[in-house]
Structure 1
Amino acid sequence: MKIMVGGLAAGMGFGAATALVNNLSSPYAELGMPLKGTVWAGAAKVLSLLMGAGWSWAALAVAMGWLARTRVRGALVGVLALAAATAAYYVTDALVSSAGTDMVAWMLAGLPFGVVLGAVGAAIRRPGPIGLLAALTVPVGVAVQMIVMPPRPHLTLTPAIVLAEVIVWTAAVCGAGWAVHRFWAERRAERSRRSHTVRAWT
């Protein structure tokens, strides 16, 4: 029960924060106008590029699934987190900018993704190749999105876009490196246990 409440809270916080950051990063939005030309506008833009990306929403569901520990609970909390994030995003966006909403459509689209990604997050805890593949899901997804659809809302590169891309690629490489390191560490530990067992029986 606690993890379900946590998933709802995390989703609501993430969705509301994303909507606020998006509005703060836009010089045409009411919240963003006072920040135009300041360092805060640049920081908001970087956060907007990071939080508004599809991979970050996927990472939310995966992280909540990892916290849930089991596949069933992971799938449930993944759906709850994405649904809460979607609702909070559009409600906050409507409040701060009077924007229209296609919340229902995005919620329906997020249902299967929440189930799968939440279950994947729970599978990260499993040893062996399954755990490795699950742990690589977000880093590989990040890399694919960065290649196919990088966070470049403008034709020209801006410092905010460059910084966001550096952060994303660094996080993807570190995440993949951690997953591979953990896999091989588990393999070495397993070989060591088998070796000790064989010596104990001889």
Structure 2
Amino acid sequence: MSRLLGVIAVALLFGALAALVKGHHDGVRDTIGNLSTPWLLIALAAGLHARTRLRGAVLGLIATGAALLGFYVVVAVTADDGHLVHVLRENRRWLFSGLVSGPVLGAFGAWLNRRATDVPRAVTTVIALLLILEPLVIVSARIVPGWREVIHWHLSAPVYIAEAVLGIALLGLALWSSRLRSGPTSTPS
């Protein structure tokens, strides 16, 4: 029970802080507040505390739901005169997305926790891949017909470039640590 309350508290805090960072303007803050990767990591992190994929899925859903609630409560208070129902209705696409991403990444986190031989390295690799993939999805949204309607806010390209660079650096770190752990390779003479 204390683990569940901790997951909820951290997720609510994350959501509230993300809304405060985002604010209600365009530009860098808006782009940072709209990054998907941190939202996916909330569910993954919650799932890492579970022993089964089902519990991971439930924790991922709860964490995502709590984070979204924290986010939209702050948005309603700061930008919409406290009309939470209106804010939730206007953002139902993201609420429904959380119903999918939360359980999937929560279950994946539980699976990683049980199956990975080196959990920190596996988690670092997953984080790196998510950081790299999000900017690719954003670029694709500008190219692939029909995707522009899904991703429609004003974006700040330097934020996504920084996200990709961070992902590449983390992936390099994970690969480097893997090489160190496996030891030096011997070459035949």
* TM-score, length of structure 1 as denominator length: 0.64
Q: Which of residues 105, 114, 133 is equivalent to 1:144?
A: 133
Change (3 A) 1:2 1:183: farther
| Count of aligned pairs | 165
Larger-gyration structure (1/2): 1
Gaps of 5+ in 2: 140-150, 185-189
Q: Cα–Cα, structure 1 residues 49 and 142, in superposed 2: closer, same or farther, change >3 Å?
A: same
How far did residue 185 of structure 1 move?
4.7
Selected match of 2:173 from 171, 175, 178? 178
Change in Cα spacing, 1:182 to 1:119, as seen in structure 2 (3 Å) is: farther
1:143 and 1:179, CA in 2 relative to 1: closer, same or farther beyond 3 A?
Answer: same
2:110 equivalent to 1:122: yes
Residue 136 of structure 1 contacts residue 175 of structure 1 at CA under 8 Å; is this kept in 2?
yes
- Letter in structure 2 aligned against 1:118: G
In 2 relative to 1, CA 171–122 (structure 1 residues): closer, same or farther, beyond 3 Å? farther
The sequence identity of aligned pairs, in percent, is: 23
Letter in 2 for 1:114: G
Distance 1:52 1:145, change over 3 A: same
In 1: Cα distance, 2:106 partner to 2:171 partner:
19
Change (3 A) 1:135 1:120: farther
- Do the aligned residues in 1 keep the contact of 2:22 with 2:30 (CA within 8 Å)? yes
After the TM superposition, which residues 5-16 of structure 1 pair with which residues of structure 2 at under 5 Å, given as runs? 5-16=5-16
What residue number does 2:100 align with?
112
2:20 is aligned to: 20
Structure 2 Cα separation of the partners of residues 3 and 88 of structure 1: 18
Amino acid of the structure 1 residue aligned with 2:116 = P
Q: Deviations over 1:111-156 (max 9, x none)?
A: 23211211222344443499876653332232222022059825xx
2:67 aligned to which of 85, 88, 93: 85
Which of the numbers 51, 73, 81 marks the counterpart of 1:70?
51
Counterparts of 1:131 and 1:119, CA distance in 2: 17
* 116-125 vs 13-22, which moves further: 116-125
**1:62–1:78: 8 Å Cα contact kept in structure 2?**
yes
Residue number in structure 1 paired with 2:142 = none
Separation (CA, whole Å) in 2 of partners of 1:64 and 1:181? 27
Contact kept, 8 Å, 1:71 with 1:120, in 2: the verdict is no
Q: Distance in 2 between matches of 1:182 and 1:118?
A: 25
Q: CA deviation at 1:76?
A: 2.5
Amino acid at match of 2:69: A
Secondary structure of 2:23's match?
A: helix
Conservation of the 8 A alpha-carbon contact between 2:21 and 2:32: no
SS in 2 for 1:70: coil
